[in-house]
Amino acid sequence: MQTITITDFDNWRKIARSLIASNTSPTEVQWVDDDGQQSLFGNEREPDKTRTKATTFRVPREFISLAQTVGYHRDANRWNLLYRILWRIKNEQPHLLEIETDEDVYRLTKMEKQVRRDAHKMKAFVRFRKVVRDQEEFFVAWHQPDHRIVRRVAPFFSRRFAGMNWTILTPDESVTWDQQSLQYGKGVTRSEAPDFDELEDLWRTYYANIFNPARVKVKMMKSEMPVRYWKNLPEADIIGDLLADAPRRVEQMIAQHEGFAETAIDFIKQDAAQPATLASLNKMASICSACDLHRDATQTVFGEGPVNARIVLLGEQPGDQEDVSGKPFIGPAGKILDGALQAAGLDRSQLYVTNVVKHFKHTTSVNETSTSNTSESKGKKRLHQKPNAREVRCCRPWFDAEWSCLEDAEVLVCLGATAATAILGPGLKLTDTRGLFIESDHCQKTLLTWHPSAILRSHDNSIRERKMQELIDDLKLAAKEKIHVET
C-alpha cells in the first residue's frame, strides 16, 4: 500500500488524477496529512511517476465544489474519503452524488456543511485588538476554529479590512495582512494573543446599544453564538446583564415605540411565522420604510424572475422608469443589459434580476431650455443619486431574503461597484476584479462586472465598446452550463 502525504486540495487533486490514470484502487493507497505543516503549500510527495501517466477525465462539477470545501475539514480521513468517492464516480457510479443515502455521500455532504458553518462562525466571531509597535497600529485576533479554515476565510478579511494591518492567530496557522498581500505562518497558543485594548469598551457600548431584548431568543442566540466562543468576544461579559434587564427594556420599548424599522430585516421578521417566498417578500417590501428613500420614490421595485433561476443579476437601485413601472432594468440601462444578455446567449426570463436598494434615490432638476418664464412650463427631470452606506445596509436584508428563496442559484453577478461592495465589502476595485469568480457569503461563484449604466455614461466610443464587450464576456462566463468539469 502506498502512503501519500498531502498538503492541500490542489496537491490531492493532482496526485488523485495520476492514481486514477494508473487504475490504483482506494484499497491500495493511504492518504495522510503533512504533520510538519511548514506550509500548506510545501513540498509534495507524489506516487511513483513511472507507474502513472496523468490524463484528463470528467467528474460532476458538484464533486469538485464539495471536495474543495471538505479539504479544509479536520478529519484525517477526508482525503481517503474523497479518493474513494472519486474512484466510485469514475469507475462504478457516475451519478453517485445523487444517492443521498449512500454512506460516503452522506459523510461528504455532512463534512462540507460543517466546514461552511465553521467559516461562517469565524467571520462572525473574530474580534481584533489593537497593538501599537514603534508608533504603528496593528490589529491582532485570536480564534479557535473547528477545522483548518484559515486559508478559506482569510481572503474575506483581506477584503473587509483592506485598509488596516492585521493578524489572525489560530492553533493551526496564522495569517497576516499588510494591506498588500496575505502571509501565512505557524499556529500559536491563546497566551500569545493580546488580551485587552480600549476598543473593547467601544464594542461593548455598541453591542449594548444594538441589543434588542424584544427579539432575543436565548436558545437561538446560543446556537448562532456558541458559548465556547464567548471567551474571545468582548461583548460576551455583558450579555448576562442585558438578558436580566430584558423584561424592563421590552416594557420601555413598547411604551416609547422603539426599535422599529431599523433595517429591512425588521419587516421580514414581522411575518417570520410563515416561510418566506418571493411573493410574500415582495408584499412586505412594498411597505418598507427602513430608510428615508421610500418617501420620495413612487414605489418599491422588487426583484423579478423564476424561483429556480441558476443565475442572479444584482444591480444598484432602480432608475426613473423602473420607479414608475415597478419592474427592474427596463429603462436605458435595462436596454443595454438586454442586448448584452442576448449577445451572451442568456434568456432573461430564466434569470433572477434585482437590486441591492429597492427604492429610487434621486434629486430633481429643472429643465431651463423652455422659453417661457412660468415655472409650470419648465420640465423637471429626476436625476440618479448613489445610495449611501446606511441606505445599502438598511436594504440589503431584502436581497439576502431573496437569495434564500432561490435554492437553485449558483452564480451571483454583481453589476457595478455598489452591488459588489454590498456583497463583498469595501476595498475591492472593480477594474482589478472584474471577470473573476470570487467566493462570497452567498455563493462560491460571485462575479463582478460593469453596470450597464457605466456603459451609457461612457462618452468615448472605444471605451463604451470595450466595456460592452467585457460585460458580454462576463455574462458568457456566468452562462457556462457545464455539467462536468475537469478534475
Q: What is the 3-state secondary structure (H, E, C) of 418-439?
A: HHHHHHHCCCCCHHHHCCCEEC
Angle at 123 between CA 8 and CA 197, to 5 degrees: 115
In angstroms, rounded to a whole number, what is the distance separating the alpha carbons of residues 321 and 299?
Answer: 11
Average pLDDT value for the chain: 80
- Per domain, the residue ranges of the chain are 2-121, 126-192, 199-256, 264-361+391-486
Strand-pair partners of 52: none
Q: Report residue 237's pLDDT band, with 50, 70 and 90 as the boundaries.
A: low
User: What residues are paired with 174 via a beta bridge?
Assistant: 169, 185
Give the contacts of 217 (CB within 8 A, at least 6 positions apart): none
The single-letter code of the amino acid at 407 is E
Q: Which residues contact 258 (CB under 8 A, 6 or more apart)?
A: 252
C-alpha cell at 481: 452550463
Separation of alpha carbons 65 and 60, rounded Å = 9
Give pLDDT, residue 35: 61
Say if CB 437 and CB 310 are below 8 A apart. no
Question: Which grid cell is 127?
Answer: 474580534
Chain Cα centroid distance, residue 27:
38
pLDDT at 164: 84
| Residue carrying C-alpha cell 441606505 | 391
Task: Give 285-336 pLDDT, tens digit per residue.
Answer: 888 888 889 889 999 999 999 999 999 999 999 999 999 999 999 999 999 9
Q: Tell me the β-bridge partners of 291.
A: none
pLDDT digits (tens, 9 = 90+) for 138-194: 888 888 899 999 999 999 889 888 888 888 989 999 999 988 899 998 888 877 766
pLDDT for 149: 94
CA dihedral 102, 106, 112, 118 (to 10 degrees): -170
Do strands 58-60 and 129-133 pair parallel, antiparallel, or not at all (unpaired)? unpaired
pLDDT of residue 306: 95
Question: Who has greater pLDDT, 412 or 263?
Answer: 412
Give the whole-angstrom CA distance, residue 338 versus residue 343.
Answer: 9
Provide the greatest CA pair distance for the chain.
94
**The whole model's pTM is what?**
0.49
Handedness of CA 17, 20, 24, 28 (dihedral sign): positive
Percentage of the residues of the chain whose pLDDT score is greater than 70: 73
Distance from C-alpha of 383 to C-alpha of 360, rounded to nearest angstrom: 10
Tell which CATH classification among 3.30.499.10, 3.40.50.300, 3.30.70.2860, 3.40.470.10 matches the domain 264-361+391-486: 3.40.470.10
**pLDDT confidence of 246, banded at 50, 70, 90?**
low
Strands (E), 272-310: none
For the cut 70, the answer to whether the pLDDT of residue 6 exceeds it is: yes
